[in-house]
A and B are shown apart, each in its own frame.
Chain A
């Protein structure tokens, strides 16, 4: 249904949404025009094509979102009888997840993925089911597969999974694997590499941390901050002469840069690092 045919009531809702959402929710005249339209349309289609499985799947999913769970369940059951049951399993699983029937949800997503192993929404939902039921190993496996296959992801998603691994099982190698998977996909970014460096240091692998920090050099434009982090890592590795060179570079750079609080903090860091070397 095209938007221009929406009722005046629907229009009022969207306009209020432009202004603010609280009045939108509180307004007494509110209805549910989008879903009503959809439901009406699906009802009509089902009347015309009473044996089309996909129509029942669609309506079941819509009814589930609307909170009409019994009707939704009935539609899913009917859909399973009209064609390949596995085609119903994803939406049925979402319905079970929504109603917190996690065992049934997992079973549905399992069946869906057996039939459509690369269907990403099912993989992500199953990961959530595993997480919510405390099965971290399986959650991790599904989240990892999801991140590997998802056409769109961002560094924060990889970082969150890596941090979950550290929090749950302190497995540095597994966390690094996720981080490196992210960087292979998205490129070397400071968000991911800095966390990887912190993990390398946690594992007492200073040389690996230095190597990783070196990889940030092109993107970090070798800023004074980068120089001083490198100096600190080199001091930890007992490579003081090399550290001094980086400190000198930072000093030269800072002369030309703005007098910001961050740059002033770097000047203080220089003093601390020089003291560390001297001692």
Chain B
């Protein structure tokens, strides 16, 4: 049986990090005198420890710290005496990593790094491509714009301090009361380290918040505008002003933060080890900025709406790759993530005029006009974005490329028998092969940018392509709530749920095949 995620994970992590207490498992391991230094008593958890590219037969363990090797063993084997140990190799910005190969599919492993191990240092390999996990379900957690923990603010002036962790606790609480499903994939929708995506901000907002999850499930990110730091704006009569999240450059080497204006490579690309050569399925992208992979019967694509989308040539190249990738995809379910939402009326407005006025939001238009046709033609089921700081989830859409005012439910959405847009759950769950068109040509688009704070700006949550939310007190097309998304993909049914910080399910959408 696969390991469960401890509901009290946060507390466990704190104890482990501080080295104040060991659980029974650790004490036993220390007592067996490891022969390969796979486990060392009192070894400290690395400053950051996370998993990358877990496939059916390989895994990358990555960390920062002095540990110079990692060891791995099947959960059924003894980590002290039966482990396979490999030396680490250094990667950018003082990270170290080890890639283990020839692992067994759909199998639980535990591991140590520099002799450190605890109850969170374990993971499950993916099932063979196209197969379901043994428990029958691929369990995915998605957070967007979660980086508020690293936002430094004068005391008591920021109402969202600690909320990223609250959102995680909400998910863990939900999970503990719903089969305690082990986490297979952890997706981030961008803006996960405010305000400039510096390495230090990544540490505070990600590695020190989701510590236990990151050492158990692979993290798959996408680039948000705040990952690219900011730029100096020259404002008449005001002078030069640094605007965090305001970069409109397509060059990952043009990154600047408020504290360092010398252009350099974006920290995001130094932190993660992402597939460029279709190491986990999909088609080689040749860049870590956008990539794809398979996990069992799910295909996931991470697009780059922040950098590549801003340059016509690079955008065309990304689209060409996407078409090639989706053309060769035959998994049951396909999920796409990128930062800038094609449809939103929240803190960002996806209509053409406000997007173009905003400058930084040009990718919203590009992604809607140039990429949504590809999603709909090539069998994508779900698209998740962030950027707007609320929750919005569309009807089952096809062909809506214009501003909100041009949305015509009869033309652009799956309809129920009454001729209204089908809501996506209960009797009106969506069918992968659309009831209306009799082909797989519709997509659910969702904005989940409230995993760190919620903010509507001037938005009114009134985009008509988004479903009216029954749990919104004002009956709007969205939820002014903090939370995250859980996707469960089985053999014949995929369900996505928006979970608030109390662990309550506020929205559900189901697609059947």
Interface residues of A (CB under 8 A from B): 1, 3-4, 6, 8, 10-11, 13-15, 17-25, 30-35, 38, 61-62, 65-67, 121, 150-152, 154-157, 159-160, 163, 182-183, 186-192, 194, 216, 219-226, 256-265
Contacts and interface: CB of A to CB of B under 8 A. Distances in A.
A5 to B, nearest CB: 10
B235 A34 contact: no
Given A18-B244, A25-B243, 8 more contacts: A20-B457, A32-B232, A121-B263, A156-B313, A159-B316, A160-B311, A186-B286, A225-B328
Given A21-B246, A226-B328, A159 B313 contact: yes
A247 B186 CA distance: 40
Contacts of B357: 22
B320 A191 contact: yes
Contacts of B243: 13, 17, 21, 24-25
Given A66-B239, A155-B287, A163-B313, A21 B320 contact: no
A216 B432 CA distance: 29
B324 interface: yes
B491 to A, nearest CB: 15
Give the most central of A6, A24, A190, A257: most B CB within 10 Å. Answer: A190
Contacts of B232: 32, 35, 65-66
Given A14-B244, A152-B253, A160 B314 contact: yes
Given A15-B151, A156-B318, A219 B283 contact: yes
A32 B233 CA distance: 10
B358 A191 contact: no
A192 B317 CA distance: 8
Report the contact-size class of chain B (Cβ under 8 Å from the partner).
35 or more
Contacts of A154: 252, 286-287, 289, 308, 314, 317
Interface in B285-327: 285-287, 289, 308, 311, 313-318, 320-321, 323-327
Nearest to B195: A14
Interface stretch (B101-109, B374-382, B404-412): B374-382
Interface of chain A: mostly helix, strand, loop or mixed:
helix
B326 A21 contact: no
14 contacts: A10-B258, A13-B241, A13-B243, A21-B360, A24-B241, A62-B261, A67-B234, A155-B285, A157-B314, A159-B317, A191-B318, A258-B432, A259-B439, A262-B378
Interface string B237-256: 01111111110000011000
B441 interface: yes
A21 B235 CA distance: 13
Nearest to A37: B259
Nearest to A264: B439
B32 to A, nearest CB: 44
Contacts of B269: 152
B401 to A, nearest CB: 15
Interface stretch (B135-143, B153-161, B213-221, B501-509): B153-161
B379 A262 contact: yes
A225 B261 contact: no
B377 A25 contact: no
Given A19-B347, A152-B253, A226 B327 contact: yes
A194 B240 CA distance: 44
B455 interface: yes
A24 B347 CA distance: 13
A35 B242 contact: yes
Given A18-B195, A35-B261, A220 B378 contact: no
A17 B441 contact: no
B326 A219 contact: no
A11 B157 contact: yes
Give the most central of A224, A259, A260: most B CB within 10 Å. Answer: A260
B152 A257 contact: no
Closest 4 CB pairs of A and B: A156-B314, A190-B324, A186-B286, A160-B313
Contacts of A4: 152
Contacts of B457: 19-20, 23
A3 B150 CA distance: 10
A253 to B, nearest CB: 8
